């Protein structure tokens, strides 16, 4: 059986690294992308099957870089079966009234424009390849449902990802392209280390929050990717069990 081809954006660390390693362990050929070639190579060095991994550095906010990335995938792999649209960024917690245009634009460029560019290029490849079709999974985050204090740019972009997911899922029906969204809460990565010492809460307090092993995210992504073409986990939330989300905290 021909191995399936997956692309993971933001694969140099955190959730993207865990996803790439999980897909490699599940038998995929995985193209890893991100801005830092060295970080991508480090991810590959951790894989049980490094020969099935390909690192191509690219800035997802740059249309020319994304075009080059997908041209490389087509020429070197022939097709694309799965995109995990994961690359993202944030700025320090900032009260809405103190946000600058530069902060807003930076987050929108990566989290929304970058997600669009990669999903759009993947959609076109999946639509035009033979056999037709594939699956796009967008990283939504718990922030696609509920904000943290001082997180307007991140929360706005993650709410927008939900709209993007729904639209791709609708438009993709005619071309055998499924689209789903994984909403992750408090996966243990370098970005969430601060949760051990305390993060701002809605009541103004600073409290530690529980986290979960980031490998669980990889396992969840593999499940979503494993579904047959006639099934789609359109929205799936995976989170630390006791993190403040449901109810009032």
Ramachandran angles phi, psi of 116, nearest 5°: -65, -50
Ramachandran angles phi, psi of 7, nearest 5°: -120, 130
Q: At what angle do helices 14-25 and 215-226 cross, to 10 degrees?
A: 50
Does 154 participate in catalysis according to the annotation?
A: yes
Contact in structure between 207 and 198 (CB atoms under 8 Å)? yes
Q: Where are the alpha helices (DSSP H) in 26-146?
A: 37-45, 63-77, 101-108, 115-128
Distance between CA atoms of 109 and 35, rounded to whole angstroms?
14
Q: Tell me the CB-side half-sphere exposure of residue 105, using CA atoms within 13 A.
A: 3
Ramachandran angles phi, psi of 140, nearest 5°: -90, -55
Torsion angle of the four alpha carbons 167, 4, 58, 115, in this order, in degrees rounded to the nearest 10: 10
Report CA-CA distances (Å) from 69 to 35, 58, 233: 12, 7, 27
Distance between CA atoms of 110 and 12, rounded to whole angstroms?
15
Catalytic residue among 28, 123, 154, 223: 154
Tell me the catalytic residues: 154
């Amino acid at each position: 059986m021909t191995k399936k081809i997956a692309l993971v954006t933001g694969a140099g660390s955190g959730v993207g690294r865990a996803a790439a390693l999980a897909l490699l362990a599940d038998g995929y050929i995985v193209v890893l992308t991100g801005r830092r070639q060295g970080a991508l190579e480090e991810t590959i060095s951790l894989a049980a099957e490094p020969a099935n991994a390909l690192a191509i550095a690219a800035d997802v906010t740059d249309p020319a870089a994304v075009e080059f990335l997908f041209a490389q995938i087509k020429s070197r792999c022939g097709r694309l079966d799965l995109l995990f649209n994961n690359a993202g960024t944030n700025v320090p917690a900032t009260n809405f009234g103190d946000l600058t245009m530069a902060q807003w634009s930076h987050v929108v460029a990566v989290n929304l424009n970058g997600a669009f560019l990669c999903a759009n290029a993947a959609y076109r490849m999946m639509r035009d390849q033979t056999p037709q079709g594939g699956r796009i999974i967008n990283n939504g985050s718990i922030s696609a449902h509920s904000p943290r204090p001082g997180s307007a740019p991140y929360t706005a972009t993650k709410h927008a990802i939900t709209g993007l997911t729904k639209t791709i899922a609708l438009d993709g029906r005619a071309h055998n392209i499924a689209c789903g969204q994984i909403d992750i809460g408090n996966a243990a990565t370098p970005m969430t280390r601060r949760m051990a010492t305390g993060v701002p809460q809605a009541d103004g307090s600073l409290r530690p929050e529980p986290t979960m092993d980031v490998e669980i995210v990889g396992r969840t992504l593999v499940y979503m990717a494993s579904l047959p073409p006639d099934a789609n986990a359109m929205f799936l939330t995976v989170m630390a069990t006791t993190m403040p989300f449901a109810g009032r905290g």
